[in-house]
Structure 1
Amino acid sequence: MKTLTTALALTALSTTFAASAADLQLHVFSHANKAMVTVTKDGQAVSGYPVHVDGATALTQSGDLKTADNGSISVSNKGNQPHAVTFAVEDNDGHTIVAKRFLGRDS
């Protein structure tokens, strides 16, 4: 019962947060050692939007990056160890939207 109550509380909080930052979204598709990150605002890709990438020193790109014309950045783990990588963007109201993905090792 405690687990169900906790899950419901977290769902309510995440729904409230998502509603306040609904205009800006962070989409991350990952496969093997690669991740494609796309930032959209009101459903449209956003060019030149800052994305913070953190997690591994062997990433092809890390730190503060800007999206390309299609609203995306591509990141690969070139190391011999898998890593958890965090992607974060901040909306105009100062809310941070975070996505975490596990990127496998370069094979």
Structure 2
Amino acid sequence: MSKETQMRAAVNQKLVEMGERERLKELLRAKLVECGWRDELKAHCKDVIKGKGLEHVTVEDLVTEVTPKGRALVPDSVKKELLQRICAFLAQQSTL
């Protein structure tokens, strides 16, 4: 396992243990709804289903088709805020 992978696993474990991961997920959900991301992605899903036909689309197809656009549509400000929150959490943990 690479050092980066080990570090990611350790950070994730600490986030889960302290309950911060759930708080960050709730913040992310709220921010995405607030900026209209959810509605845009919902509309894109409908377009994909309309284009391929309901009978010809599986959940896996939809996820594969929609995921890149969903990631691209997340505003930089939301990404930045989450990163700042994670960094602040880690800084707080290192001082304890």
TM-score, with structure 1 as normaliser = 0.25
Going by fraction, where is helix more abundant, 1 or 2?
A: 2
Greater C-alpha Rg: 2
Q: Which has the higher contact order (CA 8 A, sep 6+)?
A: 2
Going by fraction, where is strand more abundant, 1 or 2?
A: 1
